[in-house]
Amino acid sequence: MEAASSEVLLKKPGFVVGARKSWAIAVKDMKIYYFKPAILIFGALFPVTIFFAFMMGRDVKAVTLFPGLIALTLFFSTTTVAPFSIPWERMSRTFERLLFAPVSLTELAVGKTISSFVFGLVMSIVPLLIGVIFFGSSVAYIWALALGIILGNACLSNLGTLVSTVGSETPQNVMLLLNLVRLPMMFISGIFIPINQLPTWGRVISWFSPVSYVVDLLRRGLGFKDYFGPVISSLMLVAFGLAMFALSVLRMKSWNK
Partner 1 sequence: MTDSHTGRASPNSAVGARELTKYFDSLLAVDHISFDVEQGELFGFLGPNGAGKTTTIRIFMNLTRPSEGSASVYGMDTVRDTLAVKSVVGIVPEVSNVFPEITALSNLTFTGALYGLGRREGASRAAELLSMFGLEEYSGKKAGQLSLGLKRRLAIAMSMVHRPRVLFLDEPTSGLDVTASRSIREIVRRLNSEGVTFFLTTHNMEEANQLCDRIAVINHGKIIAVDTPERLRQAASEARAIEVTFDRRPTEKEESGLAGIGGISGTAEAGESYRLFTADPESTLRSLFIFMEKHDLRARSVNTPGPTLEDVFVKLTSEEQEVGSSQ
**Closest by alpha carbon to 213, among 159, 115, 160, 147?**
147
Closest contact distance (angstroms) between CB of 84 and partner 1 is 13
Which DSSP symbol is given to 170?
S
**Closest by alpha carbon to 85, among 44, 32, 158, 162?**
32
Closest contact distance (angstroms) between CB of 95 and partner 1 is 8
| Nearer CB in complex with partner 1: 26/151 | 26
In this structure, the number of other CB atoms found within 10 A of the CB of residue 28 comes to 17
Residues 209/185, Cβ–Cβ less than 8 Å = yes
Overall size of the chain counted in residues: 257
Q: In angstroms, how far apart are the furthest CA atoms of the chain?
A: 76
| Nearer CB in complex with partner 1: 200/254 | 254
The rounded distance, in Å, linking the Cα atoms of 190 and 70 is 12
Closest contact distance (angstroms) between CB of 83 and partner 1 is 18
| Nearer CB in complex with partner 1: 24/130 | 24
Closest contact distance (angstroms) between CB of 158 and partner 1 is 22
Closest contact distance (angstroms) between CB of 123 and partner 1 is 21
| Nearer CB in complex with partner 1: 72/109 | 109
Residue 199 DSSP SS3: coil
- Interface residue list for partner 1 (CB under 8 A): 1-2, 4-9, 11, 13, 17, 20-21, 23-25, 28, 31-32, 92-94, 96-104, 256-257
| Nearer CB in complex with partner 1: 4/53 | 4
